[in-house]
Amino acid sequence: MADLPHLRLGINIDHVATVRNARGGAYPDPLRAAKLAEEAGADGITAHLREDRRHISDADIDGLMDVLSVPLNFEMAATDEMLKIALRHKPHAVCLVPEKREERTTEGGLEVAREENRLAHFIAPLRDAGCRVSIFIAADMRQIEAANRIGADVIELHAGAYCDAHSEGDFKERDAELERLREMSTFAHSLGLEVHVGHGLTYDTVAPVAAFPEVRELNIGHFLIGEAIFRGLQPAIHEMRSIMDAARK
């Protein structure tokens, strides 16, 4: 049987900035991490400019736009402030994510179904500017249908519930979440949406998701930045890449 199409690996560098910001100052430098990730075979770099700027800064986004050779996937909340920034930079891709000030990380998917009109208007100028618009959503048919109706190019399915169940040792729940991701990938693909998956993926959880034929990109950050402490960023990325490639065969 032929191999599945190439599965892109987007490296999220937010948490290099988290470590930098713990002390202020300039290091570790997320741009250096992004260039190393590129050299290690990353197909794209993902960075989330949060409203509170807790990790990635405006200057990081300016720098990434200048130095990257691979596409930038700019994650942002659907706010006027972020829209202006995105339209100034016109990154390859914009991924809309929900944002709550008090959350530790992006906890759930975007509620598209309830905000269809507003989001349809919100993404129109981004698409006119040539950005591919991706929406980060739960593996939920209602949200996928709504993302399709508003004209998104891509959906990124939130893998958090699957990964959390795995790390909690609840394998029945993990398998149910995996099945949900599988079914919803197929469903989204059948509507013509490109399917990405992200959040919480590790060496232990990536293979079954990488094997979904409809999935074209995984975005992975926190685990790899942590792993880099022990073995270096590039070896950490190489291992992720080889697990993904093996799963794809």
Contacts of 32 (CB under 8 A, 6+ apart): none
The piece of 54-62, 86-94, 213-221, 231-239 that touches ligand PXP (CB under 6 A) is 213-221
- The structure tokens listed for 185 are 């990938």
Residue 199 interacts with ligand PXP (CB under 6 A): yes or no: yes
- Out of 48, 158, 189, 196, which one is annotated catalytic? 48
Task: Using the minimum distance from each CB to ligand PXP, give the nearer residue, 3 or 154.
Answer: 154
Cα angle for residues 196, 77, 91 (degrees, 5° grid): 65
* 189 catalytically annotated: no
Residue 91 interacts with ligand PXP (CB under 6 A): yes or no: no
Residue 205 interacts with ligand PXP (CB under 6 A): yes or no: no
Residue pair 149/141 in contact (Cβ under 8 Å)? The answer is: no
- Given candidates 106, 143, 185, 205, which one binds ligand PXP under the rule CB under 6 A? 106
Integer CA distances (angstroms), 193 to 64, 97, 114, 137, in order:
27, 17, 20, 13
- Given candidates 38, 75, 99, 153, which one binds ligand PXP under the rule CB under 6 A? 75
Residues written for the chain: 249
**Could you give phi then psi for residue 41, rounded to 5 degrees?**
105, 10
- Given candidates 59, 84, 105, 191, which one binds ligand PXP under the rule CB under 6 A? 105
Residue 216 interacts with ligand PXP (CB under 6 A): yes or no: no
Residue 93 interacts with ligand PXP (CB under 6 A): yes or no: no
Alpha carbon distance 119, 116 (integer Å): 5
Contacts of 2 (CB under 8 A, 6+ apart): none
- The structure tokens listed for 79 are 């706010």
Residue 162 interacts with ligand PXP (CB under 6 A): yes or no: no
Task: Using the minimum distance from each CB to ligand PXP, give the nearer residue, 156 or 177.
Answer: 156
Residue pair 156/197 in contact (Cβ under 8 Å)? The answer is: yes
- Given candidates 30, 44, 91, 200, which one binds ligand PXP under the rule CB under 6 A? 200
Contacts of 91 (CB under 8 A, 6+ apart): 65, 71, 72, 73, 74, 131
Residue 220 interacts with ligand PXP (CB under 6 A): yes or no: yes
* 179 catalytically annotated: no
Coil, helix or strand at residue 65? helix
Residue 109 interacts with ligand PXP (CB under 6 A): yes or no: no
Task: Using the minimum distance from each CB to ligand PXP, give the nearer residue, 106 or 185.
Answer: 106
Rounded least distance, CB 152 to ligand PXP, Å:
13
Catalytic residue IDs: 48, 75, 199
Which positions touch ligand PXP (CB under 6 A)? 12, 48, 75, 95, 97, 105-106, 136, 156, 198-201, 219-223
